[in-house]
């Protein structure tokens, strides 16, 4: 089965390519996914009622939904401020079959919008500056949402109750990327008392890990020489090396670093890039113990 990755081109302001990671050959060009008139800050993919969809958020102050089969834009949401991140909400789809996009903005809010019915269903207020990143939990149907902001905080929200759960303070500059640890083997799929953590990367050049149950900072990883642009927990499926006890980070210092949560140490650094690393990810399969995916400018 072919493994594919979606890639966006910030210079062309459009979603550009899908590549076959097994052969690195171009298999499809999305040149007709054109519409944004400024930097595309975020894309996400999901399947709703057998429709394969992409959503994209942009500094042109819009969120757009695209059908990947017809290659057409099927929805446009205009917003007063730049959109920094947009993601599909699996929680709303699994619980009431609603097609909902969650997006963050320079207006300091997180909004959830039903794009089939063209109505806002939820809004989260609490951040005091622009929100740069959002991430849903991979467990409990995506019930929990974390966010990072230029107000230097990481916040955790309960999508089911529409309530804020906690604000984590410690970063000394903008929080640019966040991730929630995946469901742990043997744990119930609920926040609190189960060892779940949040990791965050910041303009203060650090990666920090937050204990959700104790609502406090757990680890500070230092080593990057410029701001951290992307963080990702290792999935459970990859065994001892690529498991949930590791965090992968990418930075504007051109490096990718692998951190071990148990030892609280950096265990590997990748220095091959000659420009900023903008996105990192673990491969969904394992070859020779583990594989990592990165993207650089």
Q: 150 lies in a domain?
A: yes
Q: 272 lies in a domain?
A: yes
Q: 36 lies in a domain?
A: no
Looking up tokens 């929680």 gives 91
Tally the domains of the chain. 1
Q: 41 lies in a domain?
A: no
Q: 59 lies in a domain?
A: no
What's the first-to-final CA gap in the chain, in angstroms?
29
Considering the entire predicted model, what is its pTM?
Answer: 0.83
**Predicted confidence (pLDDT) per residue in 61-108, tens digit:** 999 999 998 889 999 999 999 999 999 999 999 999 999 999 999 999
User: What is the DSSP track for 246-288?
Assistant: EEEEEETTS-EEEEETTTTEEEEEE---SS-EEEEEE-SS-ST
Q: List helix spans (H) across the chain.
A: 90-96
Looking up tokens 């800050």 gives 41
Q: 256 lies in a domain?
A: yes
Angstrom CA distances, 130 to 85, 126, 166, stand at 11, 11, 18
**Predicted confidence (pLDDT) per residue in 211-228, tens digit:** 998 899 999 999 999 999
Give 252's contacts (C-beta < 8 A, 6+ positions apart): 226, 227, 229, 276, 277
**Predicted confidence (pLDDT) per residue in 240-294, tens digit:** 444 568 999 999 999 999 999 989 999 999 998 999 999 999 876 554 444 455 5
Q: Give the CATH number of the domain where residue 138 resides.
A: 2.130.10.10
Give 271's contacts (C-beta < 8 A, 6+ positions apart): 254, 255
Task: Work out the burial of residue 6: count CB atoms within 10 Å of its CB; fewer than 13 is exposed, 13-18 middle, 19 or more buried.
Answer: middle
Give 1's contacts (C-beta < 8 A, 6+ positions apart): none
Q: Which domain holds residue 271?
A: 126-296
Q: 108 lies in a domain?
A: no
């Amino acid at each position: 089965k072919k493994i594919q990755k979606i890639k966006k081109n910030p210079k062309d302001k459009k979603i550009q390519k899908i590549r076959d990671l097994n052969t690195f050959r171009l298999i499809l060009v999305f040149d007709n996914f054109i519409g944004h008139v400024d930097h595309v800050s975020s894309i996400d993919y999901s399947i709703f009622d057998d429709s394969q969809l992409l959503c994209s958020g942009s500094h042109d102050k819009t969120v757009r939904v695209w059908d990947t089969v017809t290659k057409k834009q099927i929805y446009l949401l205009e917003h007063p401020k730049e959109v920094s991140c947009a993601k599909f909400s699996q929680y709303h789809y699994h619980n009431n079959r609603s097609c909902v996009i969650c997006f963050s903005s320079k207006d300091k809010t997180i909004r959830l919008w039903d794009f089939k019915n063209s109505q806002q269903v939820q809004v989260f207020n609490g951040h005091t500056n622009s929100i740069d990143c959002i991430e849903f939990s991979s467990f409990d149907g995506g019930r929990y949402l974390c966010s990072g902001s230029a107000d230097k905080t990481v916040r955790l929200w309960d999508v089911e109750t529409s309530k804020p759960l906690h604000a984590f303070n410690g970063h000394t500059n903008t929080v640019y990327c966040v991730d929630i640890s995946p469901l742990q083997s043997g744990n119930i799929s609920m926040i609190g008392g189960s060892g779940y953590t949040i990791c965050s990367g910041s303009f203060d050049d650090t990666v920090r890990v937050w204990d959700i149950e104790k609502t406090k900072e757990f680890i500070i990883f230092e080593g990057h020489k410029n701001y951290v642009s992307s963080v990702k927990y290792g999935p459970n499926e990859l065994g001892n090396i690529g498991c949930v006890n590791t965090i992968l980070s990418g930075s504007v210092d051109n490096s990718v670093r692998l951190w071990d949560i148990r030892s609280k140490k950096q265990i590997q650094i990748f220095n091959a890039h000659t420009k900023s690393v903008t996105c990192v990810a673990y491969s969904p399969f394992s070859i020779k113990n583990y594989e990592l995916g990165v993207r650089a400018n």
